[in-house]
Amino acid sequence: MVRMDETLLAWLDAHAEELDTNTAEADGLLARLAQANLFTVAVPERDGGDARAPSAAVDVIAALAEHSLSAAFVFWAQRAFMACLLASPNRDLVQRLMPDLLHGRLAGAPGLSNAMKFLGGLDRLRIAGVPTPDGVRLNGAVSWATNLRRQGFVAAIAVGDEHGDNPSVFALPHDAPGVAREPDLDLLALRGTNTAALRLDDVALEASWQIHPQARVFLPGIRPTFVGLQCGLGLGLACASLRAARAALDGRPSVLSGEVDALDADIAAYRRTLASGLDDGSLRERPRDLLALRLRMVALASDAVALELQALGGRALLRTDNGGYARRAREAAFLAVVTPTVAQLKGDLQRC
Ligand X SMILES: Cc1cc2nc3c(=O)[nH]c(=O)nc-3n(C[C@H](O)[C@H](O)[C@H](O)COP(=O)(O)OP(=O)(O)OC[C@H]3O[C@@H](n4cnc5c(N)ncnc54)[C@H](O)[C@@H]3O)c2cc1C
Rule CB under 6 A: which residues touch ligand X? 77, 109-113, 122, 144-146, 187, 190, 193, 195, 334, 337-339, 341, 343-344, 347
CB atoms within 10 A of CB 344: 18
Nearer to ligand X, 262 or 337 (CB): 337
Rounded Cα distance between 298 and 188, Å, is 18
- Residue nearest ligand X by beta-carbon distance: 347
CA distances from 131 to 4, 196, 198, 204 (A): 46, 27, 21, 10
- Residues found in the chain: 352
**Cβ of residue 143: shortest distance to ligand X, in angstroms?**
7
Rounded Cα distance between 299 and 182, Å, is 33
Nearer to ligand X, 146 or 210 (CB): 146
**Cβ of residue 340: shortest distance to ligand X, in angstroms?**
8
**Cβ of residue 153: shortest distance to ligand X, in angstroms?**
11
**Cβ of residue 61: shortest distance to ligand X, in angstroms?**
14
Rounded Cα distance between 348 and 145, Å, is 23
Nearer to ligand X, 243 or 330 (CB): 330
Q: Left (φ > 0), alpha (ψ -120 to 50) or beta: where does 318 sit?
A: beta
**Cβ of residue 179: shortest distance to ligand X, in angstroms?**
16
Nearer to ligand X, 112 or 242 (CB): 112
List helix spans (H) across the chain: 6-21, 26-35, 54-65, 69-86, 91-102, 113-119, 215-249, 257-279, 282-285, 287-312, 325-337, 342-351
**Cβ of residue 219: shortest distance to ligand X, in angstroms?**
12
Nearer to ligand X, 113 or 210 (CB): 113
Nearer to ligand X, 190 or 219 (CB): 190
